[in-house]
Structure 1
Amino acid sequence: MSTDPVAAAHDGSVADLVRRSLGGLSMSERKVARALLAAYPVAGLETVARLAARAGVSGPTVVRFVARLGFDGYADFQRALREDLAAQAASPLALYERADRRREGDRGGDDLVSRAGESARAATAATFASLSADEVERAVEVLATSRRVLLSGGRYSVLLARYLHQHLEQLRPRATMVPEPVSSRAAALSELSRKDVVVLFDFRRYEPQARSLAQEARRRHARVLLFTDSYLSPVAATADVVLAADVSSVSPFDTMATSMFLVETCIAGVVERLGDEARDRMTQIETAAGRLGLY
């Protein structure tokens, strides 16, 4: 298949490629893209006829869509999707073994700093190249205007959830982490409504808790904002807004840095969206902190 400059610089998923290509697709081809991303990658592993039926288009439109992405045919497209499916479930140990093989085959002799710098630059470029301005605007809108924001993360990504939470509580009221105690969590979720948003951070290997939280949010008509990797958490199929990052790194562990850039982009957007309201709240918090001698 053919590649664009970013994809050539850094390996990405088919989902990344689809998002980067959206602007150049016809209306019918965009229907195929949305159907694929809504049930990724399973939808693309079906037959041409089944994917066409999902998207409400003809079989030839699916074939043109695949060719527009640069694949040599539907079989080539499905091969790439199967590789993505395997990558979704990759453990740090599996990634470690792959990294070992790459190091054994690498005769360039680059030092760690050079390799890490190149990897960081490529991952950042790939992340922002596939980022939709419309999707970021939607993320900012739900973070700024929802009645309540509930945030939750996984084993490592909870750090990102807490980082976003600590900024949001400076900018707006009623932004909280999903409580850890079971009874408190049930109580918080039982109060969700269509005016609220649940913000989930879910990266490979994807965690059942994220899916169950998303399902409960949907039952109560709350919106779901998902931060995930380029291979897409299963939550992406039902989320209202999806922000995906390239998480490739020089270690066996996926990088959180690119996802942090997405979080900080959203924080900047919320500050702009709320304007004086955010500044007034920050002033009140600073005043209270000063009186309490906190900082």
Structure 2
Amino acid sequence: MTSTPETISDILRASFANLTRAERQLADSLLQNYPMSGLGSITMVAHDAEVSTPTVVRMVQKLGFSGFPEFQRALRGELQAQISDPIEKHDTWAGRAPTEHILNRFTDAVMGNIRQTLGQIETTEFDEACDLLADMDRGIYVVGGRITRALADYFFLHMQVLRPNVTHIQSISNAWPHYLLEVKEGDVVVIFDVRRYENSTLKLAELAAEKGAKIILFTDQWQSPIEKIATHTFSCRIIVPSAWDSAIVPMLLLETVVASVQERTWDTTRPRMEALEDMFDRTRFFRKFT
């Protein structure tokens, strides 16, 4: 069974309870500008965290690395994975691809992605995000990037049926400032952003947060820079044996969010859906088989 390796940020968070006070301080420092914060010299990393160099050595060994050089090699590998383009990603997996059929290999990778992603999601955080989206007093804004705009469009379409006051922000950077004018304090901005993170999306998130909006971020295991200002972040495993990253886990999560919001809003959602179906019938939008 293929599985997606944990990132160092995952390992840091999972090990946090077992670290000393100084090591926790170091872990916090590394996570603040991850992964770049760990790529300097050991002296610089220790200085930035205001700990000693022996503390750095002890912590990376606790995390399972033989020493700081191996720790940095792993970080550089993650950074390379973040910035690699589709051709580079294909070359990475094709050279060591198993001999089984692509259907099996791809499915195994997806199932591993699902298990690892769901295993790291706190149900309380998931419920809090859904509560925000179900709150009719809040406006909802949805935005994606070059590839993830398909996920954003799908999410918007369903949320628009469930509740009023939902807006799909166009992903082109010269258009979204107009939408941002309408964002009020307490509104919710749902953002889809995976590796090769887009600068314009980060700027949109920063400006929305400045206006007091809540940010719900769907990202990958390396985490978009938006994670630092997001109210809720859902990190999805996306690696599969392909030149393209997989959208299956983000789709699973967003569909689950839609189902959860529907449960919370059913008293008002049901009449909206009935009215919509009535309009479809009157316009004969869909074929009827009677």
Structure 1 residues 111-120 or 66-75, which shifts more? 66-75
CA pair 93-240 structure 1, distance change in 2 beyond 3 A: same
- Displacement of 1:267 in angstroms is 1.6
Structure 1 residues 160-169 or 268-277, which shifts more? 268-277
Alignment partner of 1:178 is 2:169 = yes
* Matching residue of 1:3: none
Q: Which has the larger radius of gyration?
A: 2
Local SS of the residue matching 1:244:
strand
Local SS of the residue matching 2:128:
helix
* Matching residue of 1:15: 9
- Displacement of 1:294 in angstroms is 3.6
Q: How does 1:64-103 map to 2 (within 5 A)?
A: 66-103=60-97
Distance in 1, Cα, partners of 2:203 & 2:247: 23
Structure 1 residues 111-120 or 30-39, which shifts more? 30-39
The code of the aligned residue for 1:52 comes to: A
- Displacement of 1:245 in angstroms is 0.7
The code of the aligned residue for 1:271 comes to: Q
* Matching residue of 1:196: 187
- Displacement of 1:286 in angstroms is 3.1
**Is the contact between residue 135 and residue 243 of structure 1 (CA under 8 Å) also seen in structure 2?**
no
The code of the aligned residue for 2:231 comes to: D
**Is the contact between residue 152 and residue 177 of structure 1 (CA under 8 Å) also seen in structure 2?**
yes
Find 1:210's aligned residue among 201, 205, 215.
Answer: 201
The code of the aligned residue for 2:201 comes to: A
Distance in 2, Cα, partners of 1:89 & 1:10: 17
The code of the aligned residue for 1:42 comes to: M
Distance in 1, Cα, partners of 2:230 & 2:4: 26
CA pair 197-32 structure 1, distance change in 2 beyond 3 A: farther
Distance in 2, Cα, partners of 1:72 & 1:271: 49
* Matching residue of 2:49: 52
Alignment partner of 1:141 is 2:139 = no
Structure with the larger RCO, 1 or 2 (CA within 8 Å, 6+ apart): 1
Alpha-carbon RMSD: 3.0
- Displacement of 1:43 in angstroms is 2.9
**Is the contact between residue 3 and residue 109 of structure 2 (CA under 8 Å) also seen in structure 1?**
no
Structure 1 residues 280-289 or 267-276, which shifts more? 280-289
**TM-score if structure 2 supplies the norm length?**
0.83
Q: How does 1:260-275 map to 2 (within 5 A)?
A: 260-275=251-266
Distance in 1, Cα, partners of 2:127 & 2:20: 22
- Displacement of 1:51 in angstroms is 5.1
**Is the contact between residue 202 and residue 228 of structure 1 (CA under 8 Å) also seen in structure 2?**
yes
Find 2:120's aligned residue among 130, 138, 142.
Answer: 130
Distance in 1, Cα, partners of 2:250 & 2:214: 20
The code of the aligned residue for 1:141 comes to: D
- Displacement of 1:49 in angstroms is 2.7
- Displacement of 1:45 in angstroms is 3.3
Q: Deviations over 1:102-157 (max 9, x none)?
A: 13xx4xx2112221121111111121122232332232132222611111111211
Distance in 2, Cα, partners of 1:138 & 1:35: 27
- Displacement of 1:186 in angstroms is 2.5
- Displacement of 1:199 in angstroms is 1.2
Alignment partner of 1:43 is 2:33 = no
**Is the contact between residue 236 and residue 250 of structure 2 (CA under 8 Å) also seen in structure 1?**
yes
The code of the aligned residue for 1:189 comes to: L
Structure 1 residues 88-97 or 260-269, which shifts more? 260-269
Local SS of the residue matching 1:135:
helix
**Is the contact between residue 10 and residue 122 of structure 1 (CA under 8 Å) also seen in structure 2?**
yes
**TM-score if structure 1 supplies the norm length?**
0.82
